[in-house]
Amino acid sequence: MKSGELLLACMISASTSVAIAQTAKDPFSITISADKPTVVAGSRVYIRIKLTNMSDHVVDCSSAMVGAFDRRYLYDVLDENGKSMIKTDIDPERYQFCNLDPGESTGNGERLIRWLYDFTKPGTYTVQLSRFIGNDEKQGAVKSNTITITVIPADNQPPAQP
């Protein structure tokens, strides 16, 4: 192979690698937060979920709601020992259709995760969500950031805020 042909082959290979890397980019991002990262044992635990379309096409942002809990997300909730928390029983879901245009984000609606997980024991818990990219699990999933929720005993309540 001549040096010109080798250079051309390398350029084609490099451009193909760049194209593959660009198409493999996640079409959306998920950001979660907690208004109250410290809660009293047994109180309601809410997180906020923001889904942002990072692609150049419409992304499905539909939800499957059970109360204030969206079952389209996979919830990974671990206790302070890294052990996965057990889900509790839940009611049937109601489906809400949604499309998100490029660059748009869903609102920061609160989601009650205590609906599914028992936060009655004091400790430090981590929460991370993921959501499948499409209807086929083989397309993979996008993960959110990880947040920490600290549950304190009921007799150690922080002073009330004015």
Over residues 59-117, the pLDDT tens digits come to 988 887 776 667 788 888 898 999 888 666 555 556 677 788 899 888 766 777 776 78
d(CA 57, CA 31): 20
Tell me the domain boundaries of the chain: 30-156
Following DSSP, what letter does each residue of 117-140 receive, concatenated?
Answer: B---S-EEEEEEEEEESSSSGGG-
Q: Which residue has the higher pLDDT, 63 or 55?
A: 55
Superfamily of chain region 30-156: Immunoglobulins (2.60.40.10)
Query: What's the token pair of residue 13?
Result: 């290979």
Q: What does the pLDDT read at residue 152?
A: 93
CB crowding 18-27: b at 16 or more within 10 Å, else e: eeeeeeeeeb
152 three-state secondary structure: strand
Q: Sorting pLDDT into bands at 50, 70 and 90, what band is 147?
A: very high
Where are the strands (E) in the chain, listed by range? 28-33, 38-40, 46-53, 59-60, 63-66, 69-70, 74-78, 94-96, 99-100, 110-112, 123-132, 141-152
pLDDT at 157 over 70: no
